[in-house]
Chains A and B, each alone.
Chain A
Amino acid sequence: MDSQYIDHALVLAGILFCLGLVGVMVRRNLIFIMISIEVMLNASGLAFIAAGSAWGQTEGQIMFLAVMTLGAAEVAVGLGLTLLLFRHYNSVNVDQLNQLRG
């Protein structure tokens, strides 16, 4: 297989990461911010997979597993925090959550 696919997969990973970054910076809804973080984690996973395929090694997929575990734990805790904040402030706008006093 040509190396162009690996190159283009890495380009795609960069594009996806930047899209997730834009989402985190632009959106004000906590749900959308967490979805964008998921996109960024996906992009890093794609970069690991592409690198693992480029070298023909299994380490890329093992690191993808680690990234995915991190993403799952992050989503669980983040959504729990979102529920808690929504119960107290009746809003998921991060601009209203600027006082960390509980």
Chain B
Amino acid sequence: MIWTYLYNIVFYASCGVTVVATILMITRHNAVHALLYLIISSLSLAIIFYLLGAAFAAALEVIVYAGAVMILFVFVVMMLNQGQRSAAQEAAWLPARGWILPVILAAVLLTLLLLGMYSEQPLQPYGVNGIAVKDVGIALFGPYVLVVELASFLLLAGLVGAFHIARKMPTNIHLSNVEEADNG
């Protein structure tokens, strides 16, 4: 059946792109290159969300992750103004022997996960027809309205916290000076 064939190609190609982009992302030395790979990873993940029947989540993934969060990261990278010197430093901080143990640990975790997934009879899903945005909205503002309220609390706290933490202090006051002034 041609539909299944196409579905297979798109699904597994997106999976491959996501994994490769993420691997490239965590091995870059330049932060902006890593952000570009993270955008690719988010976009291919959005394709997978869509193929799994979650069109609403796919749209949110593109808008929020590939859009808003990336803009935030890019602004901060620009403000930090890391240049060639920083890229060379990153290369020096990342020796090959530093990779081996974490990779082994993560590979063991992944092996455990896969073993747990395939050792017993896996759960059979009921079949996927796609979940409509309307159903998500009805559930979100019906029984799960507390999630919306908690999300608004969390976002407000994040907004106030980020604004307070990152605000520009007067140049003659450093945190150490404040500490000394408090002590003296």
Contact = CB atoms under 8 A, between A and B. Distances in A.
Interface string A14-39: 11101111110111110110111011
Given A25-B102, A61-B54, A80-B162, A35 B25 contact: yes
B154 A69 contact: yes
If over half of A's interface residues share one DSSP class (helix, strand or loop), that class is named, otherwise mixed; here it is helix
A92 to B, nearest CB: 7
Given A3-B122, A45-B57, 14 more contacts: A8-B15, A26-B98, A31-B77, A34-B73, A36-B26, A38-B65, A46-B48, A50-B52, A58-B131, A58-B138, A68-B64, A75-B69, A82-B76, A88-B175
Interface of B: 7, 11-12, 15, 18-19, 22-23, 25-26, 31, 34-35, 38, 41-42, 45, 48-49, 51-54, 56-57, 60-61, 64-65, 68-69, 72-73, 76-77, 79-80, 82, 89-90, 93-94, 98-99, 102-103, 105-107, 109-110, 113-114, 117, 122-129, 131, 135-136, 138-140, 144, 147, 150-151, 154-155, 157-159, 161-166, 169, 174-176, 178-179
Interface of A: 1, 3, 5-12, 14-16, 18-23, 25-29, 31-32, 34-36, 38-39, 42, 45-46, 49-50, 52-62, 64-66, 68-77, 79-84, 86-88, 92-93, 101-102
